[in-house]
Amino acid sequence: MSAIDWGIVVAYLVWMVWDGLRLSRRTNEVEGYFLASRSLPWWAVGLSVMATQLSAITMTSTTGLGYQDGMRFIQFYFGLPLAMIILSLTVVPFFYRAKVYTAYEYLERRFDLKTRTLTSVLFLLSRGLSCSVIIAAPAVILSIVLGWNLTLTVLAIGMPTAIYTMIGGVQAVTWTDVKQMVIIVAGLVAAVVVLIINLPDGMSVGSALQVAGVTGRTKALDFTFDVNTTYTFWSGLIGGLFLSLSYFGCDQSQVQRYLTAKSVDEGRHSLLMSAFAKIPLQALVLLIGVLMFVFFLFTKAPMIFDDAAKARVEASPRAGEYRALEEEYDRAFDARRQAAQDLSATVGAGPVVPQARDTFIDADARVKNVRDRAIAIVRDVKQDAKYTDVNYVFPTFVVKHLPIGLVGLLIAAIFAAAMSSIAAELNSLATATVIDVYKRHFRREAEDSHYLFVSKLSTALWGLFTCVMALYAANLGSLIEVVNRFGSFFYGSILGVFILALGVKRATGTGAFIGLIAGMTTVGLAAYYSGMSFLWHNVLGAVTVTVVGLMVSLLSPPVSRPIEPAAR
Amino acid sequence: MPAEPRGAESRVGRGETDFTRIYVLVVIGEILAIAGLYWLGRYFS
């Protein structure tokens, strides 16, 4: 990386910390620290909602999915706009008028303390671990692609974020999110422009998409109904709806965003901003992947994008086999480049010529076959059956093929994506720790200044915990998978508890509590014993909790608690 | 004393905006996005 690019990344980090610290002057009481005294405009909250969801994993792995599979992943987001409408009608006014700090606080007013505590602790466990993964995943990739020290990369992402979140509270989180979102979008647009400029002479964007389309990469929709397939229209619409309802409606890292809005209307506007912008934004991210596929048809791509994995194989007994594959890859790549040139010459002149199309498809299949065998060797050497190098495609493109200046901008954008998610999660982890655990179970009455001090201490401790866990996670690749699975076990189940709370007047605390345990057990069994895709886990969990919770509630004595409690 | 909200506003919370039109726009936007993605796959193949 050049000195200019280094300068851009360092300037970005200094700017974020300085800006976050500058905003600390506005937070001198707990409500200001956690909820910005409910004063933020909808557009800032809306950008913060989007920045929180868009992590560095999204930037690296979604572009990689676009490169490998095309636009199919977009279906994952089809349920999101509908979820935003439902949440605008239900939880936004409920939580806002109840004047709660956390979503789980509402559950005690509606049900009982045990339901509140269990859901809050589940949130703390899953978010604490997932926040570590959000730091670790991009740190591993950047340290390999840029040759940086892994520990320093983890600290470079985690520590500045922890510092400005601890001192500035939610004001710092939201306003840095706004700036980070601008950097992320600017970086993504710059990447698209560079990819278009670098298309071969005479090749239009339409021709590039035509070439990518021959391999099926422009085909976004799959109407197959199969619960074992993750990315279909129906899993995205139904499973994605339940996932979005759970994430935006029951996860404190998102609920806290819209609780900072000036009014119920502003909170609704902030969610509906995502409803309009999310699918186009993700389409842009996936389009980068598709255009990278076209770019690497004409520019030599490495057989494996992960240099560390390559070095490990070359130091193993299977090095000879790998080198032979590289020679085969070189021949297959040259043949595909020629086939792509022939194909692109025909697509510019009219409909695709079947012979050129078939030749290109065969050549692409040969390249894929060689790459698959190379990946199989890496999996064997690393003893990691799920290893893939798709997350390295975009960072490799950025570092090796972008001009000076833009490399710095894109690395800053990856940092921004990671930091915006981490900041919101640290802030929400501290909120749940202080409001649902410390204030509720350990010290119910104290000065506001005491709770403010504990809130800052809690943010600092969560920052420290996530950085330490990130260092462990970075060295144990399979842990990332474990954390992701762990979260999917109870995401839909917690949604089920809120469905009972908001939608079933007869539901009781005991019903919700037993339903929650039944839901998590059912999802755990389904995940272990069936091939059900994780998007459907959310549907299964929510339905199980609702049904079991309702049945138990009907068997237990009714408890008269209003669905919409008065503000305290 | 300010007048009671009339028309669409009277169906929602006092002082709050009626979001019905925005919800309809979200649904129309999603249908158009899905149609656009369907067209993308059909046209560029």
Q: What is the 3-state secondary structure (H, E, C) of A191-211?
A: HHHHHHHCCCCCCCHHHHHHH
A221, B26: Cβ pair inside 8 Å?
A: no
Q: Give chain B's residues under pLDDT 50.
A: 1-11
Nearest to B37 among A71, A265, A272 (CB): A71
CB contact under 8 A, A81 and B26: yes
Contacts of A93 (CB under 8 A, 6+ apart): A264, B13
Higher pLDDT, residue A120 or A535: A120
CA angle A62, A67, A68 (to 5 degrees): 95
Of residues A36, A155, A125, the one with CA closest to residue A429: A125
Do B30 and A279 count as a contact with CB atoms less than 8 A apart? yes
pLDDT in the model for residue A563: 65
Chain B residues whose CB is inside 8 A of the A265 CB are 16-17
Cross-chain residue pair B27–A81, CB shorter than 8 Å: yes
Other CB atoms within 10 Å distance of the CB of residue A14: 11
Please give the model's pTM, rounded to 2 decimal places: 0.89
Q: Are B33 and A279 an interchain contact pair (Cβ–Cβ within 8 Å)? A: yes
B31 touches chain A (CB under 8 A): no
pLDDT of residue B13: 57
What pLDDT score does A397 carry?
A: 93
Q: Which stretch of DSSP H or E encloses residue A32?
A: helix A30-35
Contacts of A397 (CB under 8 A, 6+ apart): A191, A292, A295, A296
The beta-carbon neighbor of A221 closest among B16, B26, B38 is B38
Report the interhelical angle of A252-259 vs A42-53 (nearest 10°). Answer: 170
pLDDT at A79: 94
Encode A94-149 in three state secondary structure: HHHHHCCCCHHHHHHHHCCHHHHHHHHHHHHHHHHHHHHHHHHHHHHHHHHHHCCC
Q: What is the ipTM of this complex?
A: 0.84
B27 reaches A (C-beta below 8 A): yes
Provide the pLDDT confidence category of residue A187 given band limits of 50, 70 and 90.
Answer: very high
Give the model confidence (pLDDT) of A357-380 as tens digits. 899 999 999 999 999 999 999 999
Residue positions counted in chain A: 568
Residue A434 has a pLDDT of 95
CA–CA distance, A426 with A395 (Å, rounded to integer): 26
How do residues A124-169 score in pLDDT, each as one tens digit? 988 898 898 888 888 888 888 888 888 899 999 999 999 999 999 9
pLDDT at B4: 42
